[in-house]
Each structure stands twice: as C-alpha cells, then as structure tokens.
C-alpha cells in the first residue's frame, strides 16, 4: 500500500495507484473484497522508533485515507491478548 516507500518516489506512487485501481476493478466487476488493513507490531522496545518512522511515512504518503493501517506497540506482553 506504499507505507514503506519514500514520499513521492515511483514505488510509493505506483503502490497507491495500484491499490486504488484494484478496488475500482473489483467494484466494477462486483467482486467481493475486504479492506482488512495491516497489523505491524513491535515486540521489542528498540523497535518502537521503527514503528514511529513507518507511521510517519504512511501519513506523509496519505495511505491512511485509502486503507486502515493498524500499528500496535506490544512490549513484553502476550501477543494473543491484543489480537481480536
């Protein structure tokens, strides 16, 4: 969905355009789909900065307007507690 790519880069532009087009295609052909988002998890404290960077990049790329991206900080906890 373009959350990892530098804002304005060809990869970011193509990811966003491709995402838009696949939804348009599915709608036009009446194909079912679910926008389920993406779960990105930090399991160690030293991964939190990377999560912040991913979130910032996603925001700059405008991805949150197209998909739901969930970023959860989970440190020293049982992962199953946080998945519903």
48-61 residue pLDDT tens: 898 888 888 888 88
Alpha-carbon gap, residue 35 to 52, rounded angstroms: 23
Joined together, the tokens standing for residue 63 give 């991805």
| pLDDT tier for residue 83 given thresholds of 50, 70 and 90 | low
pLDDT on residue 29: 98
pTM of the model: 0.64
Half-sphere exposure of 10 (CA within 13 A, CB side): 0
In the chain, where the domains are located? 10-82
| pLDDT tier for residue 67 given thresholds of 50, 70 and 90 | very low
- Is 68:39 a contact under the CB 8 Å cutoff? no
């Amino acid at each position: 969905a373009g959350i990892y790519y530098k804002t304005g880069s060809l990869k970011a532009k193509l990811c966003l355009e491709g995402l838009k087009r696949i939804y348009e295609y599915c709608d036009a052909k009446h194909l079912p789909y679910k926008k389920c988002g993406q779960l990105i998890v930090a399991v160690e404290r030293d991964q939190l900065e990377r999560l912040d960077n991913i979130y910032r990049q996603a925001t700059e790329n405008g991805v949150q307007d197209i998909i739901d991206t969930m970023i959860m900080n989970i440190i020293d906890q049982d992962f199953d507690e946080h998945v519903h």
